[in-house]
Amino acid sequence: MAGKRARLRAGKGTRLRAARLGPRDVLHVGSAGLRSRPVRIVLSALGIAIGIATMVAVVGISASSQAQLLRQLDALGTNLLVAEAGESLFSGEEVKLPKDAPGMVGRIEGVEEVGATGDLPVTVRRSEKIPEEETGGIGVRAATEDLLKVLRGGVAAGTWLNDANGRYPAVVLGDVAAERLGINRPGQQVWIDDRYFTVLGILDPLPLAPDIERSALVGWEGAQRLLGFDGHPTAVYERSTDASVRSVQKLLAPTIDPQNPQNVSVGDPSAALKAKAATEGAFSSLLLGLGGIALLVGGVGVANTMIISVLERRHEIGLRRSLGATRGQIRIQFVTESLMLSGLGGLAGVALGGAATAVYAYTGGLPWVVPLWAVGGGFAATLLIGTVAGLYPAVRASLLSPTLALQAA
């Protein structure tokens, strides 16, 4: 009896403590609101999903396009240089490169391949009945046999110029020139100057030589014999070793024209692709901003859904509080519910963004690339939005008086 009284006296100062919620309990109570209102949850998560999908798709499409450009650069190489005739600094007249310019360039240390073209003052047309003024932006050029090898180009149909066919009225068309002339297969004829030339081949696209894509190419010897070509090249293309590109670039102009190197223009055809690859995605910032706005709107929708949920579930909150749930546990419940709601929208958005990127890449013939940082960053943003959106409703729910909540119910 004395021991029982002692235990009662000791228990008077003991304060009851609420049971702690384990991770499983937190997930259970946090998902209760999601399970009870599925339609509202789907609509609320849709705003988050649209924002994340937009952001992931924009980054993915940009990364896929950049990967394609880098793949092109790897295939085409960055060791191609072109030397072209410019204008005289004093007279303003067009400068002619020496006839032996390709041979001179080929003797520069580090140069591996050399090709050349020469502009011809004639036009190419589908037939002699088409007015001479309607050129379609197509130029006629004499071309050396090594030109296609230097450009790392290919023949889509037919064959390239060689010793045997390059001396006769035969022509190879760039892909753009063939399209504009309405030529779709070798063996057809086009009118150049005052006679018909037989089309030997049609080239594949040449990203590093857009001028060649818009040209009708005649053999070097055939151009001299049939079209009055004087043998002076207009442009000299060369491939050098990767290690010697910069040194060759400095030597090209002095080698071709030692007395007036300023009359020779030296360019890097791959520079445009390099710049495009470096700036790819620069114009996607607007779309990223729109995706961010959609994400914020989705966050507002989540907050609104949580506030309504608190108002509708006052009886539940009051009952839990009267049974011993602490304010902290109530806050954890509603923040968890908000996080789960946003997380569902984030997962759906990542999936939709990845699918949109895949469709774009497949239809455009691009590699499918979705950076991991975009996926991780997008999902982290949804969790942040969910936390922020659920804080106010969670605090509001925890401050509800159990008595008043039960009475209101």
DSSP string across 279-315? HTTGGGHHHHHHHHHHHHHHHHHHHHHHHHHHHHTHH
| Residue 60 shares a structural domain with residue 131 | no
pLDDT, average across residues 203-227: 93
| Residue 35 shares a structural domain with residue 88 | no
Going by C-alpha positions, the residue among 320, 211, 314, 215 that lies closest to residue 267 is: 211
Instruction: Tell me if 302 is assigned to some domain.
Output: yes
The DSSP symbol for 24 reads: H
What is the rounded CA–CA span in Å between residue 269 and residue 80?
7
Instruction: Tell me if 222 is assigned to some domain.
Output: yes
pLDDT, average across residues 195-221: 93
**pLDDT at 404 (0 to 100):** 62
The DSSP symbol for 280 reads: T
Instruction: Tell me if 274 is assigned to some domain.
Output: no
pLDDT exceeds cutoff 50 at 8: no
Query: How many structural domains comprise the chain?
Result: 2
Range of the domain at 240: 79-267
How many percent of the chain have pLDDT more than 90?
Answer: 30
Instruction: Tell me if 53 is assigned to some domain.
Output: yes
Residue whose tokens read 């100057």: 193
pLDDT, average across residues 240-245: 85
Prediction pTM value: 0.62
Per-residue pLDDT tens for 155-199?
A: 999 999 998 899 999 999 999 999 999 999 999 999 999 899 999
Instruction: Tell me if 8 is assigned to some domain.
Output: no
Tally of residues, the chain: 409
What is the rounded CA–CA span in Å between residue 82 and residue 215?
17
| Residue 210 shares a structural domain with residue 338 | no
Per-residue pLDDT tens for 384-403?
A: 888 888 888 878 777 777 66
Of residues 277 and 164, which shows the higher confidence score? Answer: 164
Domain end marker among 267, 293, 316: 267
Q: Which of 182-196, 271-285, 322-336, 388-402 has the highest mean pLDDT?
A: 182-196
What is the rounded CA–CA span in Å between residue 80 and residue 78?
6
| Residue 212 shares a structural domain with residue 288 | no
| Residue 245 shares a structural domain with residue 317 | no
What is the rounded CA–CA span in Å between residue 82 and residue 253?
10
Instruction: Tell me if 326 is assigned to some domain.
Output: yes
| Residue 57 shares a structural domain with residue 90 | no
The tokens of 261 are what? 């190197």
Lowest mean per-residue pLDDT among 3-7, 265-269, 303-307, 363-367:
3-7
**pLDDT at 74 (0 to 100):** 67
The DSSP symbol for 78 reads: S
| Residue 309 shares a structural domain with residue 209 | no
| Residue 127 shares a structural domain with residue 149 | yes
The model's confidence at residue 272, banded by pLDDT at 50, 70 and 90, is low
Domain end marker among 267, 294, 315: 267
Domain end marker among 245, 267, 289: 267
Instruction: Tell me if 11 is assigned to some domain.
Output: no
pLDDT, average across residues 121-141: 89
pLDDT, average across residues 123-133: 88
| Residue 185 shares a structural domain with residue 258 | yes
| Residue 404 shares a structural domain with residue 313 | yes
| Residue 239 shares a structural domain with residue 308 | no
Instruction: Tell me if 12 is assigned to some domain.
Output: no
| Residue 258 shares a structural domain with residue 356 | no
Q: Tell me the CA distances in angstroms from 220 to 166, 170, 200, 217, 240, one per residue in order.
A: 7, 11, 15, 9, 23
